[in-house]
């Protein structure tokens, strides 16, 4: 389940929001919100009626007009307050981020190898800097040499340092973080003002926020409804004249303001801003509001097995030789293939061999030709003095051995299948075209993953696991984790293929990744969540970045996206349903004098036409600040199907939107009646 990450509002934030509520009354600002702009035009007309009553035929109506003007003014202020409060929360976070963005001294490495101290603001893309223990990393970049423990708490809030090193998928570093131990050489990848931190600040301040397609569509609907109600109100004038009822302008404005969807119009922007802010407070940076919204509409999630569904550290657990091969022979060959393998699996082979009293001299193999692991070949090793040592997937090693003219041991497949059935990964070892046995690598499904995937299933979201493991291993892990489908022996291009196949079915797809080889798939996905610990290429291709580098967070991001859409839908339903009660308050009040039969519609038993109109108008204004906490915090999300969600929405916010105004308007009318 998604945790609540909404902090309490400070008094300072509230004060700033109040000030901004008045600043936003500027018509040039208000026109960006068509609904509230109509309310402001109405308020201006009522104000003019107070200033020049004879011109508008409003003599003797000053008190009533003054009350209408005040209520309209507060309606505007409450709407502006909602947006200002949501913006203020983002700006407060931006201020804290700005404190981490310091002008530091950087040790720039010159072309001749000399070190020159320069300001971090003078660094440009491509510059190389040396960062030692205790120093701040002066800018975004990639480690090109060295290994260090890095404190990223200024960015992620996580106090535990992380290990970053040259090469691989954990070489990316962020400006403003601190090297705790050792040293690294970093190639700068962003010019001043274009760093990851700069982008974060702009996004959380709302400077880069644009309305999402869903929000734009809803705005069009609300504007259309406003135009329809405007036409309705205008046509009421000749109808009223026909039956002998004179309607003054302030009453018509009051009717229009009550009928148009002012509630959702006032809260819509706040809901969007708060949605992005909620994702940010979950330590995920969304590059656009569209990404957050798309997360709420996701149908399929493509997940890597390693590091996402499982812990990812596949560690060597045993050496299993084939028939007629000594275990020590297999173990010693496995050690040779792992001497220059810096992956966790490679290091675990050496650790297991050391536990079993094996010994070796790495320096004896310094002149060897290193065969690095590639996704295409799926094996690695070394060549030295005419000998070829390899370890890799069983299929890849079998293919290599066959090319060398070697034989495949009869019991190899049995050993490999037994390991796969246990959820492990078999890693074959060979020397000079002869298979010696298998290294048993263990991986473990993270606790709670099955329950999380059950939640996604309730939302109607399909989960697909991609793994480089063989089909047997993949099937075992998939069953244990509870995913809906899996792709075994997956290559980078397979992820793109899976995403495209799902998109061709009309589905929106999300995926996580951290490596350069994940970048194309992250760019192809509708929601691509890159790990902050990953490569620059992955972060640039994705539309979200997880500062905590937790691949499973895509599940929470989807929940936040759905919460945003639910909040918008719920409050829209509530706002439109509100109008029912207002009809029964204002329409009878306008026509009862001339048409006594209209009193039958006064089912709330309101005191007088004036109190009825003012009560509806006051309720219309007060409901906005009452709903601000819900708009900012979001409607509580419970995993369920779309049909269940719609039914729940109608019952709570539709029915509630009809009942609450009846109660609220009646109570306000009773209070007004005490003063009339």
By annotation, the residues acting in catalysis are 304
The annotation status of 550 as a binding-site residue, yes or no, is no
Sheet holding 315-321, edge to edge: 315-321, 434-442, 425-431, 387-392, 379-384, 369-371
Helices (H) and strands (E) in the chain, counts: 24, 20
The annotation status of 345 as a binding-site residue, yes or no, is yes
The annotation status of 341 as a binding-site residue, yes or no, is yes
d(CA 265, CA 255): 16
The annotation status of 351 as a binding-site residue, yes or no, is no
DSSP alpha helix (H) spans, 183-248: 196-205, 213-242
628 Cβ partners below 8 Å, 6+ apart?
78, 81, 82, 85, 267, 270
322 Cβ partners below 8 Å, 6+ apart?
409, 411, 412, 415, 435, 436, 437, 438
DSSP alpha helix (H) spans, 59-195: 62-100, 153-156
d(CA 668, CA 17): 27
DSSP letter, residue 408? P
d(CA 327, CA 358): 11
Output the CA angle 107-109-110, nearest 5 degrees. 130
Antiparallel, parallel or unpaired: β 462-466 and 485-487: parallel
The annotation status of 514 as a binding-site residue, yes or no, is yes
Is 570 in contact with 649 (CB distance < 8 Å)? yes
Is 307 in contact with 402 (CB distance < 8 Å)? no
The DSSP annotation for 12-34 comes to: HHHHHHHHHHHHTTSHHHHTTSH
Annotated binding site: 341, 345, 391, 514, 518
Annotated binding site for ATP: 341, 345, 391
Annotated binding site for Mg(2+): 514, 518
């Amino acid at each position: 389940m998604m945790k609540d990450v909404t902090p309490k509002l400070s008094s300072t934030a509230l004060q700033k929001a109040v000030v901004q509520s008045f600043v936003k009354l500027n018509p040039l600002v208000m026109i960006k919100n068509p609904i509230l702009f109509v309310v402001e035009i109405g308020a201006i007309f009522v104000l003019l009626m107070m200033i020049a009553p004879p011109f508008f035929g409003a003599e003797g109506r000053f008190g009533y007009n003054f009350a209408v003007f005040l209520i309209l003014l507060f309606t505007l202020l409450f709407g502006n307050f909602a947006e200002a409060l949501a913006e203020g929360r983002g700006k407060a976070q931006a201020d804290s981020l700005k404190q981490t963005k310091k002008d530091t001294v950087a040790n720039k490495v010159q072309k001749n190898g000399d070190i020159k101290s320069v300001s971090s603001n003078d660094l440009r893309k491509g510059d190389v800097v040396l960062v030692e223990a205790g120093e701040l990393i002066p800018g975004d970049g990639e480690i090109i040499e060295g290994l260090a423990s890095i404190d990223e708490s200024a960015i992620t809030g996580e106090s535990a340092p992380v290990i970053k090193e040259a090469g691989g998928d954990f070489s990316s570093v962020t400006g403003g973080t601190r090297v705790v131990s050792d040293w690294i050489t970093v190639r700068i990848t962003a010019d001043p003002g274009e760093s990851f931190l700069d982008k974060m600040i702009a996004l959380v301040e709302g400077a880069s926020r644009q309305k999402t397609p869903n929000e734009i569509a809803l705005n069009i609907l609300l504007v259309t409804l406003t135009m329809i109600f405007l036409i309705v109100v205008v046509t009421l004038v000749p109808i009223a004249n026909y039956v002998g009822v004179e309607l003054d302008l302030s009453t018509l404005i009051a009717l229009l303001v009550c009928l148009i969807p002012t509630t959702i119009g006032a809260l819509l922007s706040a809901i969007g801003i708060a949605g992005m802010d909620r994702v940010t407070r979950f330590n995920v940076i969304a590059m656009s509001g569209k990404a957050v919204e798309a997360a709420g509409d996701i149908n399929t999630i493509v997940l890597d097995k390693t590091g996402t569904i499982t812990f990812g550290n596949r560690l060597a657990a045993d050496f299993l030789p084939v028939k007629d091969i000594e275990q020590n022979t297999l173990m010693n060959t496995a050690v040779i293939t792992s001497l220059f393998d810096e992956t966790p699996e490679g290091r675990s082979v050496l650790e297991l061999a050391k536990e079993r009293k094996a010994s070796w001299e790495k320096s004896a193999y310094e002149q060897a030709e290193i065969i690095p692991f590639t996704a295409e070949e799926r094996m690695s090793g070394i060549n030295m003095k005419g000998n070829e040592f390899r370890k890799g997937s069983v299929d890849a090693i079998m293919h290599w051995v066959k090319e060398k003219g070697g034989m495949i041991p009869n019991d190899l497949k049995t050993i490999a299948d037994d390991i796969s059935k246990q959820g492990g990964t078999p890693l074959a070892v060979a020397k000079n075209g002869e298979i010696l046995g298998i290294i048993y690598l263990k991986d473990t499904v993270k606790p709670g993953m099955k329950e999380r995937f059950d939640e996604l299933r309730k939302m109607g979201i399909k989960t697909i696991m991609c793994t480089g493991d063989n089909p047997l291993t993949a099937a075992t892990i998939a069953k244990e984790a509870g995913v809906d489908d899996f792709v075994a022996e997956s290559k980078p291009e397979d992820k793109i293929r899976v995403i495209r196949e799902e998109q061709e079915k009309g589905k929106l797809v999300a995926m996580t990744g951290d490596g350069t080889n994940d970048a194309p798939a992250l760019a192809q996905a509708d929601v691509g969540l890159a790990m902050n610990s990953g490569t620059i290429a992955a972060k640039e291709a994705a539309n979200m970045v997880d500062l905590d580098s937790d691949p499973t967070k895509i599940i929470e991001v989807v929940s936040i996206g759905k919460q945003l859409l639910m909040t918008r839908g719920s409050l829209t339903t509530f706002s439109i349903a509100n109008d029912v009660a207002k009809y029964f308050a204002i329409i009878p009040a306008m026509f009862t004098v001339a048409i006594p039969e209209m009193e039958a519609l006064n089912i709330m038993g309101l005191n007088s036409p004036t109190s009825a109109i003012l009560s509806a108008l006051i309720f219309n204004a007060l409901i906005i600040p009452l709903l601000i906490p819900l708009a900012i915090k979001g409607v509580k999300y419970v995993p369920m199907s779309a049909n269940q969600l719609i039914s729940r929405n109608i019952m709570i916010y539709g029915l509630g939107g009809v009942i609450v105004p009846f109660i609220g308007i009646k109570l306000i009318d009773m209070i007004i009646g005490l003063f009339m």
